[in-house]
Amino acid sequence: MTMDYFDFSPAMMTDMYEYTMLDAALHDGTASRNCVFEVFTRHLPLRRRYGVVAGLGRILEYLKDFKPNESDLQYMHDNHIVSDDCINWLRNYKFHGSIWAYREGEMFFPNSPILQVEGTFGECVLLETLLLSVLNYDSAIATAASRITSAAGNRPCMDMGGRRIHEWAAIAASRAAIVGGFAGTANLAAAKKYGLKCIGTAAHCFTLVHDTERDAFVSQINTLGKGTTVLTDTYNIEDAIRTAVEVAGPQLGGIRIDSGDLATMAQRARKQLDSLGATRTTITVTNDLDEYSIAALATAPVDSYGVGTRLVTGSGCATCNMVYKLVERENGAGQMAPVAKKSFGKATTGWRKRALRSYQYGLAQGELVLAGSQKALDSWKAPAEYGDTKDLLICAVDHGDVDESLMTRDALFAARDYHKAELAELPISALSLSEGDPAINTETLNI
Amino acid sequence: MTMDYFDFSPAMMTDMYEYTMLDAALHDGTASRNCVFEVFTRHLPLRRRYGVVAGLGRILEYLKDFKPNESDLQYMHDNHIVSDDCINWLRNYKFHGSIWAYREGEMFFPNSPILQVEGTFGECVLLETLLLSVLNYDSAIATAASRITSAAGNRPCMDMGGRRIHEWAAIAASRAAIVGGFAGTANLAAAKKYGLKCIGTAAHCFTLVHDTERDAFVSQINTLGKGTTVLTDTYNIEDAIRTAVEVAGPQLGGIRIDSGDLATMAQRARKQLDSLGATRTTITVTNDLDEYSIAALATAPVDSYGVGTRLVTGSGCATCNMVYKLVERENGAGQMAPVAKKSFGKATTGWRKRALRSYQYGLAQGELVLAGSQKALDSWKAPAEYGDTKDLLICAVDHGDVDESLMTRDALFAARDYHKAELAELPISALSLSEGDPAINTETLNI
């Protein structure tokens, strides 16, 4: 796309105060203090049982170009946003710090240290807004997707939600849906960018633009082959199915139903298709589906689900309320020291964290968050009572070096597999769709 | 930004089936049939009293470059998405049709024909996904923003939500918030792109990176001046206010409170500031504010509101569920004819629409949607019982010519003024925050 749209760098997808804080910190010297920031959420949205991390690959992609361009600097200068000293510092900016993070596809719980950034105050503070934007949205979608695919069991779920959310968010949603177990997307840009399976049927307008429904089906089948999926509810579903099988024969690939009581309609459609010999013709249903309506369709003869609005809006919660907090920094004496705010209801825990998940008999028992000095964290050994433990933070950026393997298509599909395996290791209560407590407790230990 | 991110044109921000339908329609000849598509919603989200249109300027911006690039065409070829005939057609594609739309800032109600696209089936069908993505998200945010600013009365509302939603959606949200009456944004990219007032205070990390809160305030005030707004709830608000006024003197610009019971905290802070002589120091509050919590702060001594999560997620509804439906098209005999689908619960009304709002004594009485042939619509005169009427659809694209005046910064601020004036002309029940019926009824007349 042209620069008309995007005459700013990723470094501008940021709240202004990150830059004004940088400016002040450069003048007083604290900009060069070593710091540790952490991303976490205080509670799971809508009292769900678990959250699913997504977006790390996108963050790393942005990070490679996270630097204001000359036009950005000119804008900041002209609008007196920061001083010239600050602009000169920004001209040489590159993130040289390190980032550890929960894998994409990993579960998170209240106070899980989902992402950890270490570097100078100046280089770390600028990342806050963009890190949170990506993690908050992508994780909200992956979490919804995971619940939806759980409810769908072995039936594939397809993302058809692009039209119901901001056009770029739609592309991120297609990606995050994969992490949560979706099989493909209707969105061409997402399919192209991330190498996803692209799917589609036909819209009502295609039937309506033709003089008859039969004309529409003949045209679709002639061009796209008998394996195509026709939309059957423009006029009367029974008539449409009869016509479609007459046109394509029993090899008709599939039908889609987009209105009415889907369970009843699917039952009738299956019976009719079978009676016409189209026993292998699949049934896709769509129409504001979410995890609840899909769970209710478990016994209906449905082959796949197209999920739109409710997927891309996080099924009731389009954000995770993750925050980015300073937890440790160099003091005036050059020593790393814990810091924490005391705001009412929003107090934080100082020190860098180490996160582990504990297992008994292969089943997750708890989220263990250790807070302490680097030395204390490194030397901590889990007492036997915790059973087996697994460290949850992986290194994504090492002193400015981005681990590019985390940005690939393979990494995205690995995240889906990882998520599926992790979900199987949570207590069965994790699969409950009702509101309640997290599937496992988070224990914070100051060591 | 580099092409690494965006190796696709806006024409790919589209569901695949728009292209496969085009392909089939090219082969059977219906792609060249003249058509009218309309965008509307069947109900207002969350039983609100009105919706607010936003996004038209963004649509027009995209439309100028809405054409698959060579890399997109190669992708479609390599993945057998459409035939070579279709790819050749796309190589010469440009939208030559016309678009009429409700102005940005205009109210909409159930079945308001918010946007109308006229052209051949082939050129119109491709626009569906992107038009809906933009209108659904931007209008959801403008609607939330309007309710929030109504609740805030004369106190300015500032968008601070970028970190809680997808990073590009954040920029669109800043823009849509302006339509809904917001005064500015924290988001630098949005401020730069749309010429918005950019605002900001400081984060808790800025206080924490310093050895003392006083050090932080001294630094901020030295760099940003006494007019700056300091964040007071890192440790203890009373101590923070005392320190800030000691450092800046009574000319301190403002304080921000981000936790606790905001009404009580604001009362105490005002009293303390006044007692210190800082009678003009303003109080900004933030912390998951929405129209309800802001309404509850009406009597608290607050000067401005920073609104985040709830703004950018549409205060409970991040989409408007708008749809894009074919309502009229040329038949095999070359005559324009109405078309409508009969799907259960999702039936549509054929014919192109003309939309008017009727007024009595300057107050809106109803939304009048006429359905009929172009000739019937053009010649229709409102009977006296409708009082004064105003046509709601304006021409945004005339046979491919985009009205660029609708894309400007001036147009954005004009939309905000227009919205404010329109809101004042709705029945007072429109301002009710509770669930209920639309502020005015929509009457559809087949003429």
Tell me the per-residue pLDDT of A258-311, one tens digit each, with 9 for 90 and over.
Answer: 999 999 999 999 999 999 999 999 999 999 999 999 999 999 999 999 999 999
3-state secondary structure of B445: strand
How far A269 CA lies from chain B's nearest CA (Å)? 15
Chain B residue with minimal CA distance to A330? B209
Two tokens at A265? 């309609």
Nearest chain A residue (CA) to B209: A329
pLDDT digits (tens, 9 = 90+) for B82-126: 999 999 999 999 999 999 999 999 999 999 999 999 999 999 999
Chain A contact present for B147, CB below 8 A: no
Q: How confident is the model at residue B368 (pLDDT cuts 50, 70, 90)?
A: very high
Strands B393-398 and A441-446: unpaired
List, in order, residues 6 or more apart from A82 with CB less than 8 Å away: A19, A20, A22, A23, A76, A90
Per-residue pLDDT tens over the stretch B278-306: 999 999 999 999 999 999 999 999 999 99
Q: Mean pLDDT across the stretch A65-73?
A: 95
Tell me if A206 and B24 make a contact (CB, 8 A cut-off): yes
Residues in A closer than 8 angstroms to B319, CB to CB, are 164-165, 309, 312-313
Report CA dihedral (B80, B84, B89, B92) to the nearest 10 degrees: 90
Q: Which SS3 state, helix, strand or coil, does residue B304 take?
A: strand
Mutate to test the interface with A, among B8, B15, B123, B234 (most CBs of A within 10 A): B15
CB contact under 8 A, A208 and B2: no
Mean pLDDT score, B386-394: 97
The residue of chain B with its CA nearest to that of A85 is B223
B298-329: b (≥16 Cβ within 10 Å) or e: eebbbbbbbbbbbbbbbbbbbbbbbbbbbbbb
Comparing CA positions, the residue from A284, A287, A288, A277 lying closest to residue A301 is: A284
What pLDDT band is residue B379 in, cutting at 50, 70 and 90? Answer: very high
- Phi then psi for residue B239, to 5 deg, are -60, -40
Question: Which strands make up the sheet holding A353-360, listed edge to edge?
Answer: A388-391, A353-360, A363-371, A441-446
In angstroms, the separation between the Cα of residue A126 and the nearest Cα of chain B is 12
Q: What is the overall mean pLDDT for chain A?
A: 96
Of the candidates A29, A107, A33, the one whose C-alpha atom is nearest the C-alpha of residue A419 is: A107
Q: In what order do the strands lie in the sheet with B34-40?
A: B336-338, B323-330, B34-40, B115-120, B98-102, B393-398, B401-402
B343 — pLDDT class (breaks 50, 70, 90): confident
Comparing C-alpha atoms, which of B379, B375, B378, B369 is closest to residue B335? B375
Taking CB atoms and an 8 Å cutoff, what residues of chain B touch A223? Answer: 20, 23-24, 27-28, 83
**pLDDT the model gives residue A346:** 86
- Cβ-defined contact of A309 to B326 (cutoff 8 Å): no
ipTM: 0.97
Minimal CA separation from A354 to chain B, in Å: 20
Residues of A in contact with B199 (CB under 8 A): 16
CATH class of A10-125+320-446: alpha beta
Residue A150, pLDDT score: 98
Query: Strands, DSSP E only, in B312-352?
Result: 323-330, 336-338
**Distance (Å, rounded) from C-alpha B253 to C-alpha B137?**
35
Break chain B into its structural domains and give their ranges.
10-125+320-446, 143-316
Distance CA A358, CA B316 (A): 36
- Among B1, B72, B325, select the one facing A10 at the smallest CB separation: B1
- Å between B420 CA and nearest CA of chain A: 25
A137 and B166 within 8 Å at the Cβ level: the answer is yes
pLDDT at B239 over 50: yes
Which is nearest to B284 in space by CA: B300, A115, B272? B300
CA distance A430 to A126: 36
Q: What is the mean pLDDT of residues A14-22?
A: 98
**Residue B121: closest C-alpha in chain A:** A209
pLDDT band at A253 (very low <50, low <70, confident <90, very high): very high
Q: Please give the average per-residue pLDDT across B196-207, as a whole number.
A: 96
* Closest CB from A128, A163, A209 relative to B33: A209
Give the B window 204-263 contacts with A, CB below 8 Å.
204-211, 215, 218-220, 222-224, 233-236, 258-260
**Closest chain A residue to the Cα of B235, Cα to Cα:** A342
Residue B24, pLDDT > 50, answer yes
3-state class percentages of chain B: helix first, strand second, coil last, to nearest 5: 40, 20, 35
Interface of A with B in 169-198 (CB under 8 A): 169-172, 186-189, 191-193, 198
| Cross-strand partners of A306 | A158
Whether B24 contacts A206, CB under 8 Å = yes
* Rg of chain A, C-alpha, whole Å: 25
Domain covering A143-316 in this structure, CATH number:
3.20.20.70
Stretch B185-212: mean pLDDT, rounded?
A: 96
The whole-number pLDDT of residue A6 equals 57
Q: Return residues 323-342 of B near A (CB < 8 Å).
A: 324-326, 329, 331-332, 339-342
Are B164 and A319 in contact (CB < 8 Å)? yes
Give the model's pLDDT for residue B6.
Answer: 57
Q: What phi-psi label fits residue B47: left (phi over 0), alpha (psi between -120 and 50 degrees) or beta?
A: left
* Nearby residues of B223 by Cβ (< 8 Å), 6 or more positions away: A20, A23, A24, A27, A28, A83
Contact B1 A4 (CB under 8 A): no
Interchain pair A259, B343: CB under 8 A = yes
Residues 6 or more apart whose Cβ sits within 8 Å of residue B218: A28, B247
CA distance B134 to B56: 8
Residue A32: how many CB atoms within 10 A of its CB?
A: 13
- Tell me whether B21 touches chain A (CB under 8 Å): yes
CB contact under 8 A, A329 and B6: no
Q: Any chain B CB within 8 A of the CB of A77?
A: no
Q: Which residue has the tokens 């006229």?
A: B118
pLDDT of residue B346: 86
Q: Above pLDDT 70, what percent of chain A?
A: 99
Distance from the Cα of residue B354 to its chain's centroid: 23
- B202 and A133 within 8 Å at the Cβ level: the answer is no
Burial readout A369-383 (b: 16 or more C-beta within 10 A, e: otherwise): bbbbbeeeeeeeeee
What pLDDT is recorded for position B2? 37
How much is the average pLDDT of B317-344? 95
Residues B436, B147: Cα–Cα separation, whole Å = 14
pLDDT in tens, A89-130: 999 999 999 999 999 999 999 999 999 999 999 999 999 999
Distance linking the first and last C-alpha atoms of chain B:
51
Go through B50-80 and write b for each residue having 16 or more CB atoms within 10 A of its CB, e for each that does not: bbbbbbbbbbbbbbbebbbbeebbebbeeee
Q: What per-residue confidence (pLDDT) applies to B345?
A: 86
Q: Does B12 touch chain A (CB under 8 A)?
A: yes
Which residues lie closer than 8 Å to B174 by C-beta, 6 or more apart? Answer: B159, B162, B182, B185, B187, B190, B191, B194, B196
Tell me which chain A residue has its CA closest to the CA of residue B192. Answer: A75
Selecting from B2, B37, B129 the residue whose C-beta is nearest the C-beta of A65 gives B2
Burial class for A279, CB neighbours closer than 10 Å (0-12, 13-18, 19+): exposed
Separation in Å, CA of B383 to nearest CA in chain A = 33
pLDDT of residue B5: 46
Percent with pLDDT over 90 in chain B:
96
Look over chain B and give the mean of its residue pLDDT values, rounded to a whole number.
96
Give B-chain residues touching A163 at CB under 8 angstroms. Answer: 15, 128-129, 132-133, 136, 324
CB A141 within 8 A of CB A172: yes
Interface contact flag, B319 A341, Cβ < 8 Å: no
Two tokens at B392? 């709601």
